[in-house]
Structure 1
């Protein structure tokens, strides 16, 4: 009897806690809705004052911008850019402010937005041929005792959201075995809009944009007729799209923390947004994701404070930690613009969700070797995402990492992860 009462009391406490979180979430997000509307008006004024043109945003519905959902989908733009709910926007607050402001003509804008960083490392790509920043590690011919050139296999690494090529250079590359270094050539890129790669303002960062840049930077110049793919998180979506486009060239696909949420095509993008960035104040990681994914202008303000001043923050952290070199994850975090991160989040992660079923069905028919690696404690992308994918691709192998989350599925076990990759490449 006492045991039953204890269970009932625990359930009552859990329900009470969830109800409290829901109530607080409602109040907090109502305030954020208002704040984002105010910032929308502020940035329209600030952009015209600083650059001579009003800012373009997604606070109006698709219809009011003279577009249709079908046209936007065909162009690779996700409907989640427009259908993000906002109590005050739905009441027409922004429409009234636009009517009072009247029409304004757009004038030429500068290459760098006033709210973005203009330091040398962030704008070094300006004036050059637009290709991604990448690192290639050639086969170690010095270790070849015969002195003959080997026909090396190629591996392309794709990082996740708000990361860079350093993700793989710092984790996998130092742990490669001598035989692997001899027989493989490795490519890792800073995806479009991140790290030291271009961050153009006139780009919508669709899935096709990312694919074209990878092809233009690596596949075409190096004439890659066959390659393995290794990806983490958001990079998994790009890897699947790349594999489908180059089916005859892909030898194996290793997807770590694949974000796959089965849903109908009409609801897939919205489902991905709600699962990855649910509007709740707890846990904190989810709260942060929801702010940056639901609030265009609030997210821009955070990027203005953090990304635009990343050199200052790095200096402060170096001073506090007494370290000359900061961990690459900290350095990578602000190396993007709000425009690049915002559009990539919606057009790749959310927009790509409606294409995932098709990609998996095509790859299932092609019988390409697919390995899904996932941490059982992942709170960003739940473990069931990989098992959902296995339902679509029965021959795929799911490797569950015990007590690992979205990052520690690789961090802290770099050697084991690298050995897993080497086994996959050698048996594909």
Structure 2
């Protein structure tokens, strides 16, 4: 080490020490919570739910290629050294009589599992709104279509648009932005489908689902494309929804007309062994600052810590909503805040790993299918986005030159839409109309566009 580099490396080492200490604490906490949740699951549901603290069983899953390696290969020094391996054995608590004791003296009889498996886990909210999805096996879809008068006056078929929200969002993200700012022409000529993705919003949140990319695509197909008989459509997606939107469009590449992606998490070299772990290191880098990055790292890397936080926040969301109303002196709560609690830890955890991390390896293949089919792809990105860096978009543009890229100055991951709703909606309408007017035209070479 040269003398000139020594001070800088020493300072970096000092700054890294608190980060290592904090995340080592979470390593220990996650292992302790693993044992605690196993015990509580046995007491309250009659069995301990499986987790990802041990290696996967071979041939246990129907589609192992859609499972992310980040589920099992997240590093934890306690797990790697097997220091708490003995405590994870479900037979241990039974032999010690802990389950029998807790059932008899601490938990009410009504909380014991009886008959068929309940729809939600004991650590998830069981209020009327949160379990309303059990009445349907399809996604919740908000449909906005032309009036009967507009339908009779049009001389051409109505076009379709599928809108897909991002992580911890819902259809309200689109109903409060795009659908509220449509022009009269768009409301008369287009039919809009804003979906709540599987596990989010008012859509089903099954506890036996692994929320893979394939699961999300098939549920949109089952809830929108097939029942409404769509023979052509446009796709608009934000953040995590972009990975799902590209996969959906690729599957229907012969009838999809355009794909608009807002802040897509695109990662170069995301194929091959260990690639998903590389994606996790990008989206959930272990760092203490800024706070959103720290929270993302904790929730993405520590399964049981995440479940504990969801138990505190999501399961008791009605209490938090009342507190927020008192503090803000408002009768209603922002849809964005509501959306953050309308999921289970199971659905959020698996969507992060199996869609964002594991699904990333399919994005190049799916984009290639769309490029070969000459489907127009338009990407919008804020230049202040810290969730999806600009390098992601530049890498996509390098690999797929026909992709149109629009960089919006002064906006971040959400304000690229929420901070310019009318302009964003007008841009989408311009995209759709240009395709309708040039259906037989050739695919133009995409360019970088900078807007304010």
Q: What TM-score does the superposition give when structure 2 sets the normalisation length?
A: 0.87
36, 58, 83: which one aligns with 1:67: 58
Does 2:129 align with 1:121?
Answer: yes
Contact kept in structure 2, 1:192 and 1:198, CA below 8 Å: yes
The residue number in structure 2 matching 1:287 is 294
The residue number in structure 2 matching 1:6 is none
Write out per-residue CA displacement over residues 301-329 of structure 1, whole angstroms, 9 at most, x where no aligned residue.
Answer: 00000000111111111111111121110
The residue number in structure 1 matching 2:170 is 164
Contact kept in structure 1, 2:69 and 2:274, CA below 8 Å: no
Deviates more, 1:339-348 or 1:96-105: 96-105
Contact kept in structure 2, 1:253 and 1:369, CA below 8 Å: yes
List runs of 5+ in structure 2 lacking aligned partners. 100-112, 436-452
Distance (whole Å) between structure 2 residues aligned to residue 363 and residue 196 of structure 1:
31
Does 2:338 align with 1:331?
Answer: yes
Tell me the CA shift for residue 109 of structure 1: 3.4
Contact kept in structure 2, 1:377 and 1:402, CA below 8 Å: yes
The residue number in structure 1 matching 2:446 is none
Contact kept in structure 2, 1:361 and 1:392, CA below 8 Å: no
Contact kept in structure 2, 1:160 and 1:235, CA below 8 Å: yes
12, 31, 34: which one aligns with 1:40: 34
1:208-219 alignment, distance < 5 Å: 208-219=214-225
299, 320, 324: which one aligns with 2:327: 320
Deviates more, 1:149-158 or 1:82-91: 149-158
The residue number in structure 2 matching 1:22 is 16
Contact kept in structure 2, 1:229 and 1:253, CA below 8 Å: yes
Contact kept in structure 1, 2:38 and 2:90, CA below 8 Å: no
Does 2:90 align with 1:82?
Answer: no
Distance (whole Å) between structure 1 residues aligned to residue 80 and residue 54 of structure 2:
9
Tell me the CA shift for residue 14 of structure 1: 8.1
Tell me the CA shift for residue 232 of structure 1: 0.2
Contact kept in structure 2, 1:247 and 1:366, CA below 8 Å: yes
Q: What TM-score does the superposition give when structure 1 sets the normalisation length?
A: 0.91
Distance (whole Å) between structure 2 residues aligned to residue 294 and residue 276 of structure 1:
11
Does 2:137 align with 1:130?
Answer: yes
Contact kept in structure 1, 2:382 and 2:409, CA below 8 Å: yes
Contact kept in structure 2, 1:259 and 1:385, CA below 8 Å: yes
1:371-382 alignment, distance < 5 Å: 371-382=378-389
Distance (whole Å) between structure 1 residues aligned to residue 132 and residue 352 of structure 2:
24
- In structure 2, relative to structure 1, the CA distance for the partners of 1:44 and 1:392 (3 Å cut) is same
Secondary structure of 1:120's counterpart equals: coil
Does 2:201 align with 1:195?
Answer: yes
- In structure 2, relative to structure 1, the CA distance for the partners of 1:369 and 1:302 (3 Å cut) is same
Q: CA RMSD in A?
A: 2.3
Distance (whole Å) between structure 1 residues aligned to residue 282 and residue 195 of structure 2:
28
Contact kept in structure 1, 2:268 and 2:395, CA below 8 Å: yes
List runs of 5+ in structure 1 lacking aligned partners. 1-8
Contact kept in structure 2, 1:281 and 1:287, CA below 8 Å: yes
Deviates more, 1:51-60 or 1:359-368: 359-368
- In structure 2, relative to structure 1, the CA distance for the partners of 1:80 and 1:73 (3 Å cut) is farther
Distance (whole Å) between structure 2 residues aligned to residue 165 and residue 201 of structure 1:
22
- In structure 2, relative to structure 1, the CA distance for the partners of 1:103 and 1:195 (3 Å cut) is same
Contact kept in structure 1, 2:160 and 2:191, CA below 8 Å: yes
Number of positions where the alignment pairs a residue of Structure 1 with one of Structure 2: 413
Contact kept in structure 1, 2:27 and 2:77, CA below 8 Å: yes
- In structure 2, relative to structure 1, the CA distance for the partners of 1:68 and 1:131 (3 Å cut) is closer
